A and B are shown apart, each in its own frame.
Chain A
Amino acid sequence: MDLTYLVPTGFTMTEAPRPIQRSRLQRILRAPLFHFIFIGTCAYLLWPVWNVDEDRLSIRVTAEDVHQLELGWTQQMGRKPTARDRAALIENEIDERLLLEEAFSRGWHRSDGIAQRRLIQNQRFLDPEDQATDEEMLERAYQQGMDQSDVVVRRRLLELMRLTLAAEARRTPPDREALNAYLHDHADQFREPERVQLSHVFLSRDRRGLNLDTDAEALGQRLRQTSPPVKAAVEWGDPLLVRSRLPLWSEDRLARELGTSFARSAMEAPGQQWFGPVDSAYGKHWIFVESRSEAADPELNDVLPRVEAEFLREREKEALRNHVKELREQSEIYVETGLDAPAS
């Protein structure tokens, strides 16, 4: 190491130093040996930090990689990726490589039978006449880096990672408190929908054709003027394969029976009076909403199996997400850009 720059100006190493009066501290601070030791100590202490790039996992997605991802996408989807697709492709690629690296560091590429057999088969495929043993074939594959490049080996290792993380996530059964919290946080998903219970008088489009509108108006007038018992009124209409008094049904359920337009109108209809005419897939209706139940949040006991299943599924996903996140934090990730922006 060249330490001459540490020598005070005006001196050369060959000249005898001129005695100058300094404090002991100053002398120590200026001593080359101190500098040597100081720099050495710093270097020693900082080495792990400087050396970080050597130890930390480095993932580099090159412009060419991105280009290949885009090509693959275009081939598969029949269109170019949007900017959003492209970003997702790159993120996927990073996550995949991180998980793969972990699988490699766990040694699964060397211990997993499927991966091994695949590599041996690849080698044998390359030269079917070769008499080498399986072990030799395998070693050759590793030397050629085939374990890193083979699509099946990669997919296999990724699947192993996914299954292992999922199994870990399912190991402890969730307690009631956690399930209650899950239900609370996902109330929308489990909420009982609003429902109406109604009766209806139906006029068939097939039967009445062009008269349907006027018939419907006339029926409405008659219903309003005479206020008949609902049970009697429903028989004034045309027959229909759908019941005239429907049970307490949600909008979705009504739509499945009579179409979306009818269902929407039914949810908006005022209660305890004839309302109409309402269109359905089959004609026009006058409806009488008898009762209504508001949307409500269920108790845990009523939806326990569903909540438990969803909770565990969510936990599996989260375990995978967290794991990839940790891997990302421990890694250096570089993404080269510079290719033309994809069509959006």
Chain B
Amino acid sequence: MISPTASLGNSIETQSPTVLEGGTPRTPCRDSDPLRQPFFGDLHVHTAFSLDASTMDTRNRPADAYRFAKGEALGLQPYAEDGRPMRSAQLGRPLDFAAVTDHAELLGETYICQAPDLQGYDSWVCQVYRRWPRAAFFWMNFQASRATRHNFCGENGRRCLEAARPPWREIIEAAEAAYDRSEDCAFTTFIGYEWTGAAGPGNNFHRNVIFENDLVPDLPLSFIDQPDLESFWKQLGAECEDAGEACDVVVIPHNSNLSAGKMFRTQQEDGKPISRDEAEARKRYEVLVEMIQHKGESECFPGLGNSDELCAFEKLSTNSFTGRYFWASDTQPKGRQFVRNLLREGMAQEKQIGVNPFQFGFIGSTDTHLGTPGLVAETADFPGHGGAGKPAGDALPTGLPDFVEFNPGGLAVLWAEENSRRALFAAMKRREAYATSGPRMVVRFFGGEGLPLDYCNRPDAVATGYAEGVPMGGTLPASGPDSTPPRFAISVLADPGTAGQSGNTLDRVQIIKGWTTQDSTQEKVYDVATGTPLPASVDPITCETVAGGTQSLCAVWEDPDWEPTQSAFYYARALENPSCRWSQRLCVQARVQCENPETISEGFEPCCSESHRPLIQERAWTSPIWYQPDSL
């Protein structure tokens, strides 16, 4: 366990009264609202300490990422030879919180390969890393996916583990320095990392690990040393919660869309159902799942257990990392790649083993590999993913900066009393969280039998919601056979926009219900509130918009198909009116006219591919509210 960190900040003479968070006191926040406020952030951020970022010439380090999140401009590759960046980016509005989550795997290896004075620097792997970064990216990740250390790491990988200390220390120090412990509570950081597991080559198993405070383990756990989830959870428990200090952690799986359905298993290797212990460990740690990021959205796939055409949103054309590179790969989407299918499976599992292993709340994030958290605007300035995407060379990319199916990623929104580690982390634990595909929509969602029908007109609506129901992420109490169906109150406020870009208006809000029957699970999508009949519109050819539409939606909805004996989940999906996608904005800017091939300049071919969708409907997904009957 690392004790309260770093030289930075230790000499602060804090004013009383103070609150102890982990090992360090902080001043209470001036603005604390018992009815909670939405805080917008990014919990998936890579910097130069991640191999796949550094091999793309990302040089921004954790402190840079936090400066960016707080609103400062940041330089991006390609760099001129003297180190001056040729591109830069800046958020239109700062984030409230962020976590740098560099890959735990290869943290030491990447460090060794960049430090001439360390043993191993001259190893052939490091030479390949420096000579052919992309080849090294594949090879080193392949080795890591086989949970194998490179020879240059020495006996038991000790050299690489030791080498991981300086970057881990820097990650911690950056988070400590950027965390606002004053009464302003203007910005919160979390210490974290990514455990980058794989099930067979290329099947994504990745999880982000977010710590509550500055009491964190000595080193991040990597897939190389903890090559399966069970040993990972066990070791995480040993080094964090069970270590006798105020350490706590959440684990957030991401990109189930690239897992070929293997990210969340329901059977052990020998074909037997998973144990109750395993389900409980998963439920304990994996309280949130990442719904959207650069590498696609993971809610649902059209036709895969649903008839929901709005599932056709930011989908990748492959089901694993290797699908893109090997033509023979099976790229067919599998049910368990998608969150909605998993939520259904979770209820089925609960019936069988008594625990729901897939009880996820939702967040969005970026997975930026440029050190640019929260850069989610759907504009022509999207600089690309910077990791597993299109390789960045010495030159600025011509044409689209990344694979056309990638997107600028989403945001994590947490309902918390104040912007402090303690309050935000508690929101994560109780799943009072939602994901957006980028816009800062404000979404409240309550469920409860006693919610009043006039909820939307009450000035004390929010207080009523908490008093009469449970917020998103909660579970409704079991009802007797004669009880009335639960009601759900959903209210949405459109993104207010920034000085440079006004926010888009709302199209509708839906509730998605999943439930168990005797021997299967079902799902249904209900439109519960829609915007004005004359919404804002956008011309996909020019991206010009006509203003109009609805800025807020609110509804109280009662489940017409409710059965008190069936388990169920309900989550809300709020949709904006269509707008131009980042790629289309670039295509328009480059004056591409698909009917005239001469106008399609190099790098802009994807503008005219069949799979290119010029318009998108940005959205938010609330964490579900579960209903669990007594009979279970």
Q: Which residues of A contact B (CB under 8 A)?
A: 72, 75-78, 89, 92-93, 95-96, 99, 112-114, 117-118, 121, 151-152, 154-156, 158-160, 162, 173, 192, 204-206, 234-235, 239-244, 247-249, 252, 255-260, 280-283, 301-306, 308-309, 313, 320, 324
What residues of chain A lie closer than 8 Å to B177, measured between beta carbons?
305-306, 308-309
Q: Is B116 located at the chain interface by the 8 A CB criterion? A: yes
Q: Interface code B374-398, partner A: CB below 8 Å = 1, 0 otherwise?
A: 0000000000000000000011101
| Alpha-carbon separation in the docked complex, A38 to B552 (Å) | 96
Which secondary structure dominates where chain A touches chain B? helix
Asked whether A206 and B551 contact (CB < 8 A) given A77-B86, A239-B457, the answer is: yes
Least distance between A314 CB and chain B CB atoms (Å): 13
**Are the C-beta atoms of B12 and A301 separated by less than 8 Å?**
yes
Partner of A205, one of B31, B462, B496, B551: B551
20 inter-chain pairs at a CB distance below 8 angstroms, sorted by A residue, are A75-B398, A77-B396, A92-B80, A92-B82, A95-B82, A99-B82, A113-B121, A204-B552, A239-B461, A241-B444, A243-B35, A248-B31, A282-B551, A304-B11, A304-B12, A305-B9, A305-B177, A305-B178, A309-B178, A320-B83
Q: Interface code B155-192, partner A: CB below 8 Å = 1, 0 otherwise?
A: 00000000000000000000011100010100000000
**Are the C-beta atoms of B8 and A309 separated by less than 8 Å?**
yes
Least distance between A265 CB and chain B CB atoms (Å): 14
Least distance between A282 CB and chain B CB atoms (Å): 5
**Are the C-beta atoms of A158 and B8 separated by less than 8 Å?**
no
Counting from the closest, the 4 A-B pairs by CB-CB distance are A281-B496, A247-B31, A76-B396, A113-B122
Partner of A92, one of B81, B395, B462, B493: B81
**Are the C-beta atoms of B130 and A114 separated by less than 8 Å?**
yes
Q: Is B561 located at the chain interface by the 8 A CB criterion? A: no
Least distance between B169 CB and chain A CB atoms (Å): 14
**Are the C-beta atoms of B131 and A152 separated by less than 8 Å?**
yes
Closest to A309 in B: B177
Partner of B131, one of A118, A249, A281: A118
Q: Interface code B455-499, partner A: CB below 8 Å = 1, 0 otherwise?
A: 011110110000000000000000000000000000111101111
Asked whether A280 and B552 contact (CB < 8 A) given A247-B31, A304-B12, the answer is: no
What residues of chain B lie closer than 8 Å to A206, measured between beta carbons?
532, 550-552
What residues of chain B lie closer than 8 Å to A75, measured between beta carbons?
395, 398
What residues of chain A lie closer than 8 Å to B121, measured between beta carbons?
113-114
| Alpha-carbon separation in the docked complex, A152 to B127 (Å) | 12
Closest to A244 in B: B459
Q: Is B421 located at the chain interface by the 8 A CB criterion? A: no
**8 A Cβ contacts from B33-57 to A:** 33, 35, 37
Closest to B38 in A: A241
**Are the C-beta atoms of A242 and B493 separated by less than 8 Å?**
yes
**8 A Cβ contacts from B4-19 to A:** 7-9, 11-13
Least distance between A230 CB and chain B CB atoms (Å): 14
**Are the C-beta atoms of B503 and A281 separated by less than 8 Å?**
yes
Least distance between B556 CB and chain A CB atoms (Å): 13
What residues of chain A lie closer than 8 Å to B78, measured between beta carbons?
76
Asked whether A113 and B496 contact (CB < 8 A) given A155-B81, A235-B459, A239-B459, the answer is: no
Asked whether A281 and B458 contact (CB < 8 A) given A117-B127, A252-B93, A305-B9, the answer is: no
Asked whether A305 and B176 contact (CB < 8 A) given A77-B396, A255-B499, the answer is: yes
| Alpha-carbon separation in the docked complex, A112 to B86 (Å) | 27
Q: Is B596 located at the chain interface by the 8 A CB criterion? A: no
Asked whether A241 and B398 contact (CB < 8 A) given A76-B86, A99-B82, A281-B496, the answer is: no
**Are the C-beta atoms of B11 and A282 separated by less than 8 Å?**
no
What residues of chain A lie closer than 8 Å to B499, measured between beta carbons?
255, 260
- With most chain B CB atoms within 10 A of its CB, the pick from A114, A192, A235 is A114
What residues of chain A lie closer than 8 Å to B458, measured between beta carbons?
239
Q: Is B508 located at the chain interface by the 8 A CB criterion? A: no
What residues of chain A lie closer than 8 Å to B554, measured between beta carbons?
239
**Are the C-beta atoms of B493 and A305 separated by less than 8 Å?**
no
Give me 19 other A-B pairs in contact (C-beta within 8 A), A77-B396, A243-B35 excluded.
A77-B86, A92-B81, A96-B80, A96-B82, A113-B122, A113-B127, A114-B126, A151-B394, A206-B550, A239-B554, A247-B33, A252-B94, A259-B497, A281-B497, A281-B503, A282-B496, A301-B12, A306-B177, A308-B177
What residues of chain A lie closer than 8 Å to B93, measured between beta carbons?
252, 255-256
Q: Is B511 located at the chain interface by the 8 A CB criterion? A: no
Least distance between B494 CB and chain A CB atoms (Å): 7
| Alpha-carbon separation in the docked complex, A305 to B10 (Å) | 9
Asked whether A240 and B493 contact (CB < 8 A) given A160-B116, A206-B551, A247-B31, the answer is: yes
**Are the C-beta atoms of A78 and B81 separated by less than 8 Å?**
no
What residues of chain A lie closer than 8 Å to B442, measured between beta carbons?
241-242
| Alpha-carbon separation in the docked complex, A326 to B178 (Å) | 34
**8 A Cβ contacts from B80-136 to A:** 80-84, 86, 93-94, 116, 121-122, 126-127, 130-131
What residues of chain B lie closer than 8 Å to A159, measured between beta carbons?
83
Q: Is B585 located at the chain interface by the 8 A CB criterion? A: no
What residues of chain A lie closer than 8 Å to B503, measured between beta carbons?
259, 281
What residues of chain A lie closer than 8 Å to B502, measured between beta carbons?
281
Closest to A113 in B: B122
**Are the C-beta atoms of B494 and A281 separated by less than 8 Å?**
yes
**Are the C-beta atoms of B30 and A247 separated by less than 8 Å?**
yes
What residues of chain B lie closer than 8 Å to A155, measured between beta carbons?
81
**Are the C-beta atoms of A241 and B82 separated by less than 8 Å?**
no
Asked whether A117 and B122 contact (CB < 8 A) given A96-B82, A154-B81, the answer is: yes
| Alpha-carbon separation in the docked complex, A301 to B83 (Å) | 33
Closest to B549 in A: A206
Least distance between B78 CB and chain A CB atoms (Å): 7
Q: Is B433 located at the chain interface by the 8 A CB criterion? A: no
Closest to A94 in B: B82
What residues of chain A lie closer than 8 Å to B83, measured between beta carbons?
158-159, 162, 320
Least distance between A99 CB and chain B CB atoms (Å): 7
- With most chain A CB atoms within 10 A of its CB, the pick from B94, B440, B551, B554 is B551
What residues of chain B lie closer than 8 Å to A156, measured between beta carbons?
130
Q: Is B63 located at the chain interface by the 8 A CB criterion? A: yes
Partner of A118, one of B130, B398, B444, B497: B130
| Alpha-carbon separation in the docked complex, A78 to B550 (Å) | 39
**8 A Cβ contacts from B532-567 to A:** 532, 550-552, 554
Least distance between B397 CB and chain A CB atoms (Å): 9
Asked whether A256 and B440 contact (CB < 8 A) given A151-B394, A281-B494, A282-B493, the answer is: yes
Least distance between A122 CB and chain B CB atoms (Å): 9
**Are the C-beta atoms of B81 and A241 separated by less than 8 Å?**
no
Least distance between B218 CB and chain A CB atoms (Å): 22
Asked whether A304 and B493 contact (CB < 8 A) given A158-B82, A248-B31, the answer is: no
- With most chain A CB atoms within 10 A of its CB, the pick from B37, B81, B84, B491 is B81
Closest to B9 in A: A305
Asked whether A255 and B551 contact (CB < 8 A) given A92-B81, A152-B131, A309-B8, the answer is: no
Closest to A69 in B: B80
Least distance between B40 CB and chain A CB atoms (Å): 8
| Alpha-carbon separation in the docked complex, A116 to B550 (Å) | 64
**Are the C-beta atoms of B33 and A240 separated by less than 8 Å?**
no
Q: Interface code B428-459, partner A: CB below 8 Å = 1, 0 otherwise?
A: 00000000000010101000000000001111
| Alpha-carbon separation in the docked complex, A248 to B33 (Å) | 13
Closest to B81 in A: A96
**Are the C-beta atoms of B81 and A112 separated by less than 8 Å?**
no
**Are the C-beta atoms of A256 and B496 separated by less than 8 Å?**
yes
- With most chain A CB atoms within 10 A of its CB, the pick from B30, B83, B444 is B83
Least distance between A158 CB and chain B CB atoms (Å): 6
**Are the C-beta atoms of B496 and A257 separated by less than 8 Å?**
yes
**Are the C-beta atoms of A78 and B398 separated by less than 8 Å?**
yes
**Are the C-beta atoms of A72 and B395 separated by less than 8 Å?**
yes
**8 A Cβ contacts from B324-353 to A:** none
Closest to A235 in B: B459
**Are the C-beta atoms of A76 and B498 separated by less than 8 Å?**
no
Asked whether A309 and B63 contact (CB < 8 A) given A92-B82, A96-B81, A112-B116, the answer is: yes
Least distance between A69 CB and chain B CB atoms (Å): 10
What residues of chain B lie closer than 8 Å to A235, measured between beta carbons?
459
